[in-house]
Structure formats: C-alpha cells, structure tokens
C-alpha cells in the first residue's frame, strides 16, 4: 500500500497532548495503526503522553528539537530516528529556528 501524504489535507491540532502551539499533521489511520507526517513550528511541542497500548517510531526529516523519553531529554535532528516502546512516555519539542518535520508510525500492539 502506498500512502501519499502529498495528496492529503493537513489538520491543525492546537496544544496537541498538552503541548505548546500547534501540530500540523497529515494522518493515515486504518482503524488500528496510525502513520503521519507532522510539522511543529519553532517553539511548538507535542505534550508528554504515555504509549500504553502502542509504540511509536518517529523519523526526523528536517529541523532539530528535543525528545523527552521517560523524563530524559535528548537532542534530535534531521536523519535521526526515535523509538518509544509500549509502556513508556515521551514528548517532542521544536527547539530550532525552522519547522521540525517528521514521519511517525504508531502501531497498536
């Protein structure tokens, strides 16, 4: 299956998961698993949230930020991948001066 994010309309999520500003996302969801292309403007964030029924794999395509995994902050940048296993929490903050663009896959387990 090909998922063409170029043909999808972006949705805006203000204060996503309790974060700052807005997350712009183009989402595919088959009722079980979610795959999306997201964008956070400078200073925007996705709030801390627990993955109790799923995991998340996030690929940074452009920009830089901070990922906070179970309370531990680490810098992330273009070309890096972040993994949040089931049962763990994380958040993402754009600490750069340009949009932080990423792909994420969230498979239910």
CA distance 72 to 57: 17
Please state whether the predicted TM-score (pTM) of the whole model is above 0.75: yes
Do the strands 34-40 and 45-50 form a parallel or antiparallel pair, or are they unpaired?
unpaired
Task: Examine the pLDDT at 14 and tell me if it is beyond 80.
Answer: yes
Nearest to 57 by CA among 26, 87, 36, 29: 36
CA distance 72 to 102: 20
Per residue in 27-47, pLDDT (tens digit) is: 999 999 999 999 999 999 999
Per residue in 76-100, pLDDT (tens digit) is: 999 999 999 999 999 999 999 999 9
Q: Is 14 exposed, middle or buried (0-12, 13-18, 19+ CB in 10 A)?
A: exposed
């Amino acid at each position: 299956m090909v998922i063409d994010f170029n043909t999808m309309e972006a949705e805006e999520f203000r204060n996503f998961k309790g974060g700052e500003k807005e997350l712009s996302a183009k989402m595919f969801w088959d009722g079980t698993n979610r795959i999306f292309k997201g964008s956070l403007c400078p200073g925007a964030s996705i709030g801390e949230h627990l993955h109790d029924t799923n995991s998340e794999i996030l690929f940074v395509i452009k920009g830089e930020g901070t990922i906070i995994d179970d309370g531990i902050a680490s810098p992330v940048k273009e070309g890096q991948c972040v993994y949040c296993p089931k049962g763990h929490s994380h958040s993402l903050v754009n600490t750069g001066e340009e949009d932080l663009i990423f792909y994420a896959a969230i498979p239910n387990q």
